[in-house]
Amino acid sequence: MEQTSAITHSVMLDADKCKGCTTCIRHCPSEAIRVRGGLARITSEKCIDCGECIRVCPNHAKRAVYDELEELSKYEYRIALPAPTLYGQFNNLESVDYVLVGLLRCGFNAVFEVSKAAEIVSGYTRRLLKEGRAKTPIISSACPAVIRIIRSRFPYLCSYVLPVKSPMQLAASLARHEAMEKTGLPSEKIGVFFISPCPAKVTDVHYPIGLEKSDVDGVISISAIYKPLLAEMNKLKDPDIISESGLLGINWAVSGGESSGLMQERYLAADGVDNVMKVLDELENKRLPPLDFIELNACPGGCVGGPSTVENPFIAKARIQMLRKDLPFYKNDYPEKGFGDITLDWNDELAYRPVDAAGTDMATALERLSRIESLKEEFPGLDCGACGAPTCEALARDIVEGHAGKGDCLFFLKKSLEYIFADTKGNAVSMTDENGGLK
Amino acid sequence: MPDNVLTLHYDIEGNDFTSAGEASGDVKRKLRMLGISPNTIRKLAVAMYEGEINQVIHANGGHIDVEITPQLIKIVLSDEGPGIPDVEAAMSEGFSTATEEIHNMGFGAGMGLPNMKKYSDTFELETEVGKGTVITMTVNIE
């Protein structure tokens, strides 16, 4: 796969499978993909890892780059951090303990539930709201794809993003600390692996936002661990009860779950990239009612809709609902004294990182944008994608930036050919007969 | 046309609440491409969005012309709607002539014109009952 810059995202193309069909370019919410030379190419700095292209590719040519299970052998002591979405992947699951004990039999020495850390993050957020220490409405920072949308497209909203570790990052810090105390091993001999529904989390581990370094060492997809884990789970009878989270933490897997953890009504929960962008737009335009909290998930239905899950999001959601029936609301909270050296706060608030600047200075950008606007008028405005760019405007921009030519537009090309084949009087001649066939 | 001016034109459909906000959304996107500061984009977003919504609700549509130079953004909203009979009242916060139905849709809070004035750096309003309204706003680029 050809990269146009340093790799800072986790969705990749399998060039052998790509047919250059242009389905992905029209579904990519950040217009990060172009088809050139018959292959899809992802512009790294624009990709937000939402996984839309993985979902829509008819040839399964898009995939997320995860760590393999073999990576575990690099570490002396291995910890699994299961995302609560994992619990929704299994039929007739009696308790979460089957999954947790199953993971222990898949080569892990310990498990630390991300849902447990989620309950702590919920408690911490409740505290921030109660003490008035955060600008409202607080925008959740748990979905890394949403964070990437905000920091590149909604500069004004960056300061509203909750500057607090996601449950995954917190779980990793707490699990590593616990393991070091318990085993006496140095940090580098302990491997912390997140079991993930989505590629955005991989990027969030390699390029964490708000943190210097993530405590997660590797990310394994739910789809990769599903089969070996299920095999182990099937061997279990009455597994030890080791789960330490309530229904609140498990609920984070579905849209609205994080909000319910705040125990108040002034919230909005939206899922799916289009809805997320619409809500952010309305917030920027001052159109939302006074809210305390906005929960946004890039995947439909929340994390259960992640592109690396095996189960349909609605089925997974129903299973999670049934799993919660005997659980207390929550078992964990942010402790009065905190966690010693482990803080929940980010180092900085979210910084605006524009990715679509048309030029380095205003004069250049203005001149380019004017050229794009007038060039756009030469194209039919169908946004057909046949040129390899998602819209006529995107093609105009690619041309102005020197990445494409007018001839990439089939309509423009046809007009040019008709001109070449003009009759003796210089009048353009249609190349096709009344039925659309070539003459 | 000199190179350092970008002109944009939008036609706004009356009573089309589904696509309301598309024009201001497009300008917002272009301002980002121009590398304009978050604060300026926000001011423009609120001021222009309110103007656009006003054309949808009150004026049965209209036109928006936008001019962007390195120094400022000029927005001219023109319509052939009913005009504003009492400008002073319309400019006060909370004053609204929107119908119950419009209120129920979450619009018509009476902040339209006040917000346009508040979020722009210059604001001029010309209106004639039965003829229409022209609003000219500028937002300075920081």
Contact A330, A122 (CB under 8 A): yes
Q: Which domain holds residue B44?
A: 6-140
HSE-up (13 A, CA, CB side) for residue B70 = 10
Angle at B99 between CA B134 and CA B87, to 5 degrees: 35
Contact assignment for B4 to A366 by CB distance below 8 Å: yes
For residue A152, give how far its alpha carbon lies from the nearest alpha carbon of chain B (Å): 9
One-letter amino acid at A99 equals V
What 3-state class would DSSP assign to A42? strand
Nearest by CB: A357 against B33, B37, B46: B33
Instruction: Collect all residues of chain A within an 8 Å Cβ-Cβ radius of residue B37.
Output: 155
For residue B16, give how far its alpha carbon lies from the nearest alpha carbon of chain A (Å): 17
Give the Å distances, CA to CA, from A342 to A166, A169, A204, A338: 13, 11, 19, 8
Give the Å distances, CA to CA, from A347 to A123, A165, A200, A351, A373: 20, 10, 20, 11, 41
Any domain includes B116? yes
Contact assignment for A365 to B42 by CB distance below 8 Å: no
Contact assignment for A370 to B6 by CB distance below 8 Å: yes
pLDDT tens digits, residue range A118-139? 999 999 999 999 999 989 999 9
Nearest by CB: A365 against B33, B41, B115: B33
Cα–Cα distance, B10 to B48 (Å, whole number): 12
Residue A257: closest CA among A307, A209, A313: A313
Q: Which residue of B has its CA nearest to A356?
A: B33
Contact A262, A309 (CB under 8 A): no
Among the residue ranges A353-362, A389-398, B37-46, the one predicted with the least confidence is A353-362
Cα–Cα distance, A118 to A127 (Å, whole number): 14
Contact B58, B52 (CB under 8 A): no
Neighbour tally for B15: CB within 10 Å: 10
Nearest by CB: B70 against A155, A352, A366: A366
Among the residue ranges A185-194, A195-204, A410-419, B50-59, the one predicted with the least confidence is A410-419
- Cβ contacts of A321 within 8 Å, gap of 6 or more: none
Cα–Cα distance, A113 to A107 (Å, whole number): 16
pLDDT tens digits, residue range A216-274? 999 999 999 999 999 999 999 999 999 999 999 999 999 999 999 999 999 999 999 99
Residues in chain B: 142
How many structural domains does chain B have?
1
Cα–Cα distance, A335 to A337 (Å, whole number): 5
Residue with tokens 């200075």: A361
Mean of pLDDT values over A137-157: 95
Cα–Cα distance, A22 to A53 (Å, whole number): 10
Contact assignment for A284 to B115 by CB distance below 8 Å: no
Any domain includes B31? yes
Confidence at residue B141, expressed as pLDDT on a 0 to 100 scale: 92
Q: Which residues of A185-197 are buried (b: 16+ CB within 10 A; e: fewer)?
A: eeeeebbbbbbbb
Enclosing H/E stretch for A78:
strand A77-82
- Cβ contacts of A225 within 8 Å, gap of 6 or more: A69, A103, A106, A195
* Average pLDDT along chain A: 92
Instruction: Collect all residues of chain B within an 8 Å Cβ-Cβ radius of residue A288.
Output: none
Contact residues of B toward A, CB < 8 A: 1, 3-6, 8, 21, 24-25, 28-30, 32-39, 41-42, 45-46, 49, 68-70, 106, 115, 141
Among the residue ranges A353-357, B8-12, B35-39, the one predicted with the least confidence is A353-357
Contact assignment for B38 to A156 by CB distance below 8 Å: yes
pLDDT tens digits, residue range B64-83? 999 999 999 999 999 999 99
Query: A218-221 and A267-271: which strand pairing?
Result: unpaired
In the structure encoding, which two tokens stand for residue A351, read together? 């910084």
Contact residues of A toward B, CB < 8 A: 153, 155-156, 158, 281, 284-287, 352, 354, 356-359, 361-363, 365-367, 369-370, 373
HSE-up (13 A, CA, CB side) for residue A409 = 25
One-letter amino acid at A207 equals Y
Cα–Cα distance, A168 to A144 (Å, whole number): 11
Contact assignment for B32 to A363 by CB distance below 8 Å: no
Question: Model pTM?
Answer: 0.88
Contact assignment for A285 to B6 by CB distance below 8 Å: no
For residue B90, give how far its alpha carbon lies from the nearest alpha carbon of chain A (Å): 19
Instruction: Collect all residues of chain A within an 8 Å Cβ-Cβ radius of residue B42.
Output: 155-156, 284
Nearest by CB: A366 against B6, B46, B115: B6
Any domain includes B73? yes
Cα–Cα distance, B56 to B59 (Å, whole number): 6
Question: Regarding predicted confidence, which is higher, A344 or A433?
Answer: A344
pLDDT at A424 over 60: yes
CATH code at position B90 = 3.30.565.10
CATH node for A11-64: 3.30.70.20
Q: Which fold has domain A364-420?
A: 3-methyladenine DNA Glycosylase II; Chain A, domain 3 (1.10.15)
Contact assignment for B34 to A362 by CB distance below 8 Å: yes
Mean of pLDDT values over A158-170: 97
Interface test with A, best of B28, B33, B111, B141 (most A CBs within 10 A): B33
Residue A85 DSSP symbol: G
One-letter amino acid at A386 equals A
Contact A303, A253 (CB under 8 A): yes
Instruction: Collect all residues of chain B within an 8 Å Cβ-Cβ radius of residue A287.
Output: 49, 106
Residue A225: closest CA among A253, A197, A204, A203: A197
Residue A210 DSSP symbol: S
Cα–Cα distance, A338 to A348 (Å, whole number): 19
Give the residue extent of every domain in chain A: 11-64, 69-326, 364-420
In the structure encoding, which two tokens stand for residue A54, read together? 């993985």
Share of chain A above pLDDT 90, in %: 82
Q: How many helices (H) and strands (E) does chain B have?
A: 5, 5
Give the Å distances, CA to CA, from A126 to A134, A137, A204, A292, A342: 10, 13, 24, 10, 19
Cα–Cα distance, B52 to B64 (Å, whole number): 8
pLDDT-based confidence at residue A1 (cuts at 50, 70, 90): very low
Instruction: Collect all residues of chain A within an 8 Å Cβ-Cβ radius of residue B108.
Output: none
Interface test with B, best of A156, A157, A392, A400 (most B CBs within 10 A): A156
One-letter amino acid at B11 equals D
For residue B118, give how far its alpha carbon lies from the nearest alpha carbon of chain A (Å): 13
For residue A312, give how far its alpha carbon lies from the nearest alpha carbon of chain B (Å): 30
Cα–Cα distance, A84 to A73 (Å, whole number): 25
Cα–Cα distance, B119 to B139 (Å, whole number): 8
ipTM for the whole predicted complex goes beyond 0.90? no
Contact assignment for B33 to A362 by CB distance below 8 Å: no
Instruction: Collect all residues of chain A within an 8 Å Cβ-Cβ radius of residue B56.
Output: none
Contact assignment for A365 to B24 by CB distance below 8 Å: no
Angle at B117 between CA B113 and CA B120, to 5 degrees: 135
Contact assignment for B69 to A366 by CB distance below 8 Å: yes
Sort A20 into a burial class: Cβ within 10 Å, 0-12 / 13-18 / 19+.
Answer: middle
Any domain includes B1? no
pLDDT-based confidence at residue A161 (cuts at 50, 70, 90): very high
Residue with tokens 């992947």: A89
Contact assignment for A285 to B39 by CB distance below 8 Å: no
pLDDT tens digits, residue range A369-419? 999 999 999 999 999 999 999 999 999 999 999 999 999 999 988 888 887
Neighbour tally for A259: CB within 10 Å: 24
**A11-64 and A364-420 agree in CATH topology:** no
What 3-state class would DSSP assign to A293? strand
**A88 phi/psi in degrees, rounded to 5:** -85, 0
pLDDT tens digits, residue range A316-339? 999 999 987 789 999 999 999 999
Cα–Cα distance, B66 to A361 (Å, whole number): 20
Q: Which residue of A has its CA nearest to B49?
A: A285
Any domain includes B17? yes
What 3-state class would DSSP assign to A240? coil
